[in-house]
């Protein structure tokens, strides 16, 4: 029996940015072209959703890493 992958694909990436951040042109371009979505928060972090969050589980790795995963 082979090992089963925990996640098959990334289905969403969202960048949490501080409210006071003023985006540079490259950041605005990536947001406009929907490479990633952004929301305001207290500090920088990245939210990555795997497989549409089908298992309805979340791991918040802060404060060690600015990363939240949904799978």
Kindly list the domain boundaries of the chain, sorted by start residue: 10-70
Torsions phi, psi for 8 (to 5 deg): -100, -40
Give pLDDT tens digits for 4-22: 667 899 999 999 999 999 9
Q: What is the pLDDT of residues 41-64, one digit of tens each?
A: 999 999 999 999 999 999 999 999
DSSP secondary structure letter of residue 3: P
The pTM of the full predicted model, rounded to 2 decimals, is 0.78
């Amino acid at each position: 029996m082979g090992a089963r992958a925990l996640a098959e694909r990334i289905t969403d990436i969202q960048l949490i940015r501080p409210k006071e951040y003023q985006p540079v042109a490259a950041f605005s371009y990536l947001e406009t072209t929907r490479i990633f979505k952004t929301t305001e928060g207290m500090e920088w972090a990245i939210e990555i959703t795997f497989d549409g969050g089908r298992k309805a589980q979340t791991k918040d790795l802060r404060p060690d890493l600015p990363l939240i995963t949904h799978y």
